[in-house]
Amino acid sequence: MSDRLRVLICGAGIGGLTAALAFVRGGAQVTVLEKAREISDVGAGIQQSPNAMAVHTALGTADDIIAAGVMPGVGIIRDFKRGRVKLRTQMKGAYEGRYGHPYVHIHRADLIDILRKHAVNAGADIRLSRTVTAYENRSDKVFVKTDHGNFTADILVGADGINSAIAAQMQGQGSARFTGQMAWRGLVDASDVSPGLIPKDASVWAGPGTHFVSYYVRGANLINFVAIKEKADWTEESWSKPGDVSQLRQAFKGWDKPVTELLNACGACFEWGLFDRPALPTWRDGRAVLLGDAAHPMLPFMAQGAAMAIEDSWALSQAVFQNSDIETALRRYERLRKPRATKLQNISKSNAGLFHAAGPAALARDAKLAAARALPFAQKMRFDPIYGYDITTVI
C-alpha cells in the first residue's frame, strides 16, 4: 500500500477544489467526493481579490484565471438615484503594485472549471454523485461513509458548504438561519445595453435597505449583477430559485439609469436567500476538519467568502505538510484561520450598514465616505489588511 498521505475532501466547490489542488501539489493522494452529478456553479460572476490571487499564483492557476477574467478599472460606490460618486478607488494597476496581485472578476463556472482541470491534471481523483453521510475517527485513520460505498483516509476535509454534513456531525450545529437579506443574481449580454452604459469597474449603487453591484466577466462580453434587498423572511424551502424579473425591476424602479437599463435588458435571474450560522466552537474533530463556508459562512458584502475558502485551503495543506502529527497540524490550521475568518465575517456584516443606511445614518455614512475620499490613506488602511494579506508567506 502507498505510504502517501491520503486526503478525502467532501465537496467540489471552490474550497474543495482548491484544497484538492493544494494537497495533490504537495504529494498527497487526494479523493474528492461530490454529491452533485456534475461539477458546476450558478450562472453568475465572482470577485477574486488579491489575497485569493496570491494563492492562485502559488498553485499555478492565476494565469488561467486572469486570462478568463476581467480586471476592473476602479471600485466605485455611487448614490442610488443620481449615480453621484461617493467613493472611488483605483484598482487596475494600483492593486498589482500595492498587493502584488490583481483583482479579477470571473464567471463562477470558469473558475470552477480551471480549478477542476488543474486538480485532475495534477492527480486528484474526483468522484461525482457521492454524498458523504457520516465519518468515524479510528485510531490512525478516518472512516467515511457515503451513499455509494465507504472510504478511509488520514484526513477528512469538510468543504461541503454552509449546510455541511461534516460540521453537523462534528458539533450538532444549529441549522442555517436567514439573515434578513436576499439577493437576485443575473448575467446580461453586454451587447444588449447601450455602449458605455456600464463602466468596466466594480460598481456599487447604495440605497436604503438595498444595494446593486455590477461588473463584467468573460472577456467583458457579459455583465454580472448582484442586487441585494433587505427582506423580513425567506419562505422558500430552497435557498435559490428562478427569480421574477418584473419583481426585480420593481425593487429598483427610479434608480440610476445604468441600473434600470441593465435590468430592462435582463431576461432571467435567480433569487437567493442569504443565510448564516452561529459560530462553531471548533472546526476539527480528530482527523476531520472544516474549511470554507462549512466552517465560516459569511454575507457576500465584502466579496470574501470564497477568498477565505481559498486561503483556508492553502493554510490547511501547508499545516499538514509541515507537521507530521495530524492533531498538531489541524490545531495550527484552526488557530491561524479562525481569527481571520471571524474578522471578515464581521466586516461583511457591517458593510450591510454601509451600503443600506437610510436617513441620518446615510448622512453619517456619506460624511465618512467623503473623509475617505479626501484621505486616500484611510482607504488603504481599510483594504490593506484584507487584500494585502498573503497566506502563502504566512505558512
Ligand X SMILES: Cc1cc2nc3c(=O)[nH]c(=O)nc-3n(C[C@H](O)[C@H](O)[C@H](O)COP(=O)(O)OP(=O)(O)OC[C@H]3O[C@@H](n4cnc5c(N)ncnc54)[C@H](O)[C@@H]3O)c2cc1C
Cβ nearer to ligand X, comparing 46 with 266: 46
Of 33, 71, 87, 344, the one binding ligand X (CB under 6 A) is 33
Contact stretch for ligand X (CB under 6 A) within 9-17, 63-71, 247-255, 332-340: 9-17
Q: Which of 99, 103, 135, 215 is catalytic?
A: 215
Alpha carbons 98 and 120: distance in angstroms, whole number = 33
Q: Answer yes or no whether residue 306 interacts with ligand X by CB under 6 A.
A: yes
Cβ nearer to ligand X, comparing 105 with 287: 105
Q: Answer yes or no whether residue 12 interacts with ligand X by CB under 6 A.
A: yes
Of 26, 35, 73, 168, the one binding ligand X (CB under 6 A) is 35
Cβ nearer to ligand X, comparing 69 with 258: 69
User: Which residues of the chain form beta strands (DSSP E)?
Assistant: 6-10, 29-33, 45-48, 74-79, 85-90, 104-107, 125-127, 132-137, 142-146, 149-153, 155-158, 177-189, 202-207, 210-217, 222-230, 240-242, 270-276, 284-285, 288-290
Q: For residue 331, what is its C-alpha cell?
A: 490545531
Of 8, 16, 277, 357, the one binding ligand X (CB under 6 A) is 16
Of 55, 159, 190, 354, the one binding ligand X (CB under 6 A) is 159
Q: Choose among 363, 29, 109, 84: nearest CA to 203.
A: 84
Half-sphere exposure of 386 (CA within 13 A, CB side): 23
Q: Are 221 and 78 in contact (CB under 8 A)?
A: no
Of 300, 341, 372, 391, the one binding ligand X (CB under 6 A) is 300
Cβ nearer to ligand X, comparing 80 with 272: 272
Alpha carbon distances (Å) from 293 to 182, 201, 280, 312: 17, 27, 11, 10
In whole angstroms, how close is the CB of 251 to ligand X at the nearest point? Answer: 15
Q: Answer yes or no whether residue 115 interacts with ligand X by CB under 6 A.
A: no
- Mapped onto helix, strand or coil, the DSSP state of residue 340 is helix
Q: Answer yes or no whether residue 262 interacts with ligand X by CB under 6 A.
A: no
Residues linked to residue 150 through DSSP beta bridges, in sequence order: 145
Cβ nearer to ligand X, comparing 7 with 307: 307
Contact stretch for ligand X (CB under 6 A) within 53-61, 154-162, 248-256, 375-383: 154-162
Binding residues for ligand X, rule CB under 6 A, total 34
> Residues with Cβ < 8 Å from 38, sequence gap 6 or more?
128
- List the interface residues with ligand X, window 44-63 (CB under 6 A): 46-47
What is the identity of the amino acid at 220? A
DSSP 70: B
Of 185, 287, 340, 365, the one binding ligand X (CB under 6 A) is 185
Cβ nearer to ligand X, comparing 323 with 392: 392
Alpha carbons 38 and 46: distance in angstroms, whole number = 20
Alpha carbons 138 and 155: distance in angstroms, whole number = 11
Residues linked to residue 6 through DSSP beta bridges, in sequence order: 29
Q: For residue 228, what is its C-alpha cell?
A: 441585494
In whole angstroms, how close is the CB of 9 to ligand X at the nearest point? Answer: 9
99 is catalytic: no
Q: Answer yes or no whether residue 32 interacts with ligand X by CB under 6 A.
A: no
Of 15, 72, 102, 207, the one binding ligand X (CB under 6 A) is 15
Q: Answer yes or no whether residue 34 interacts with ligand X by CB under 6 A.
A: yes
Q: Answer yes or no whether residue 173 interacts with ligand X by CB under 6 A.
A: no
Q: Answer yes or no whether residue 111 interacts with ligand X by CB under 6 A.
A: no
Cβ nearer to ligand X, comparing 15 with 102: 15
Q: Are 110 and 44 in contact (CB under 8 A)?
A: no
Q: Are 73 and 252 in contact (CB under 8 A)?
A: no
What is the pairing mode between strands 222-230 and 177-189? Answer: antiparallel
For residue 164, count CB atoms less than 10 angstroms from its CB and return exposed for 0-12, middle for 13-18, buried for 19 or more.
buried
Q: Answer yes or no whether residue 10 interacts with ligand X by CB under 6 A.
A: yes
Q: From the CB of residue 125, how many other CB atoms can be counted at a distance below 10 Å?
A: 13
Of 30, 59, 62, 132, the one binding ligand X (CB under 6 A) is 132
Q: In what order do the strands lie in the sheet with 125-127?
A: 125-127, 29-33, 6-10, 155-158, 288-290, 284-285
Contact stretch for ligand X (CB under 6 A) within 246-254, 306-314, 333-341, 342-350: 306-314
Q: Can you give the binding site for ligand X, defined by CB under 6 A?
A: 10-16, 33-36, 46-47, 131-132, 159-161, 165, 183, 185, 226, 272, 274, 292-294, 300, 303-307, 309
Residues with a catalytic annotation lie at: 215
